[in-house]
Structure 1
Amino acid sequence: MAAGETVRVAIEELRKALTGLDNALDMRFDRERDHSEIENEVRRVNTDRSRLAQELDQSEFRANRLEEVNREVSRRLVTAMETIRAVLDR
């Protein structure tokens, strides 16, 4: 193989290697971008989960409070009805 041919083959192999490296870098950047997007989505989901958990806690508190108030109203109604019956029975 002549010296010129050897240089041409070496340059072609170098070109192929550089193309392969460029493709590998592109794939790596794509994976990094995808990974970053996934991390951002996970952060958003965790933020939403925290907010929803807090809203659920508040709703449960309100529901428990309404249940307590409902029991108290029922107790007072029963007392009022008994008082009215007692007055009517006299």
Structure 2
Amino acid sequence: MSKAIDDALLQLTTALTRLEAAVGQRFEAERDPGDLETELAIMAEDRARLAAELDAASARLATVEAATDDVGRRLGRAIATVEGVLVPSGRPR
């Protein structure tokens, strides 16, 4: 083959390779919106699940805080009762 034919075949091969790459990118680009929609749907589901878990954890925290306050009040009364028994009436504590 002549140099001109070899050069032309090289240019043709390069052009075909670039065309194949462009077609592949185009197919990927067309496929991405569906993938993006799926990913967004998964993220929305995760967000909803996490929000529900946060709400449940907040409710448990409120319950624990209320119980802690109640225990604190009862402990305060118990301490006052024990001090009242240990410290005779009329004497400073």
TM range, smaller chain: 0.5 to 0.7
- TM-score, L = length of structure 2: 0.63
Give the structure 1 partner of residue 55 of structure 2: 57
- TM-score, L = length of structure 1: 0.65
Give the structure 2 partner of residue 5 of structure 1: none
1:83 aligned onto 2:81: yes
Q: How far 1:64 moved relative to its partner?
A: 1.1
Q: Which runs of 5+ in 2 are unaligned?
A: 1-21, 89-93
When the two chains are superposed, the root-mean-square deviation of aligned CA atoms in Å is 2.1
User: What secondary structure is seen at the aligned counterpart in 1 of 2:53?
Assistant: helix
Q: Counterparts in 2 of 1:1-90, with a 5 A limit?
A: 27=26, 29-90=27-88
Instruction: Please state which structure has a larger fraction of its residues in helix.
Output: 1
What does the per-residue CA deviation read over 1:19-77, in whole Å, with 9 as the maximum and x for residues that have no partner?
Answer: xxxx77x83x4333110000000000000000000001111111111111111100000
**Whole-angstrom CA distance in 1 between matches of 2:51 and 2:30:** 31
Aligned-residue identity in percent: 36
Relative contact order, higher structure (CA 8 A, sep 6+):
2
Aligned length: 67
